[in-house]
Amino acid sequence: MPPRTPKACRQQGCSATTTERHGYCEKHADKAKGWARGRAGRGRGGRAWRKKREIVKTKACGLCESCSKRGLVVAGSICDHIVPGAEGGDDSLSNLQWLCKPCSDLKTHQESMRARARASS
């Protein structure tokens, strides 16, 4: 394999060159790692998600918000996206709610029905 063509380091003001795929020189390679970690930290399972999940749960006092609206007191267990990602929802706290499993399942079912309707239209 021929050696890769050295490119200028992505770090502003750095005059070093690199042949690394991430585009940073040896001295700034840790920035590339941070970049990758930042991407991996998004979505479920990451530390940021767990923290948000905790906040949503605390705000709802651990009770299903959907059942609460109907006057029922049911312990929830799921952090749910009010507007699902497939419909443009994000991970912001205003788009998250605490649900019990049956409510989450029902909502997921309704969402998949909507997704199917969208796909066929």
Stretch that binds Zn ion, among 48-56, 68-76, 81-89, 90-98 (CB under 5 A): 68-76
Looking at the Cβ atoms of 4 and 42, the one nearer to Zn ion is 4
Give the Cα separation of 3 and 84 in Å (integer): 45
Q: Give least dist CB 26 to Zn ion, A.
A: 8
Q: Which residue of 25, 32, 78, 79 would you call a contact of Zn ion, by CB under 5 A?
A: 25
Which whole-number Å values give the CA distances from 102 to 20, 65, 74, 76, 106, in the listed order?
49, 12, 10, 9, 6
SS3 3: coil
Q: Is 78 in the site for Zn ion (CB under 5 A)?
A: no
Q: Which residue of 32, 56, 78, 103 would you call a contact of Zn ion, by CB under 5 A?
A: 103
Stretch that binds Zn ion, among 17-25, 45-53, 82-90, 111-119 (CB under 5 A): 17-25
Tokens of 59: 């705000």
Dihedral pair phi/psi, residue 42, rounded to 5°:
-80, 160
Tokens of 28: 């700034």
Tokens of 93: 């706290």
Tokens of 64: 């299903």
Q: Which residue of 4, 7, 8, 16 would you call a contact of Zn ion, by CB under 5 A?
A: 16
With CB under 5 A as the rule, give the number of residues binding Zn ion. 12
Interface with Zn ion (CB under 5 A): 9, 11, 14, 16, 25, 28, 64, 66-67, 74, 100, 103
